[in-house]
Amino acid sequence: MMTDRTAMLRERLNRELQPVSLEIIDESAKHAGHAGAASGGGHFVVTIVSPAFENKTLIQRHRLVYAAVGDIMHSEIHALSIQARTPEES
């Protein structure tokens, strides 16, 4: 099931943001027993490099990521740590 969540996350981010680099780390196992883990949502760390982030503030970049995965937030994903950079910043 964890790989299914990672695959869903990867598919949505690739489709919406066309990243030149995308790394997704599933840290769900580190949060076993945590209140949020009880709902079944995973904990992920995303490092994404995309031209879509050019001329965007940090908050605007995070909103783009959340918009891309919005349909699975709070069901498949409980926590999402985001590092969002442009190709020039990577």
CATH number at residue 80: 3.30.300.90
Per-residue confidence band for 55, with pLDDT thresholds at 50, 70 and 90: very high
Q: Range of 45's domain?
A: 2-89
Sort residue 48 into left (φ over 0), alpha (ψ -120 to 50) or beta.
beta
Q: How many domains does the chain have?
A: 1
Q: Which of 38, 48, 37 is nearest to 81 (CA)?
A: 48
Determine what percent of the chain is predicted with pLDDT higher than 90: 60
Per-residue confidence band for 1, with pLDDT thresholds at 50, 70 and 90: very low
Q: What is the pLDDT of residue 40?
A: 59
pLDDT (tens digit, 9 = 90+) per residue, 13-40? 999 999 999 999 988 877 666 554 555 5
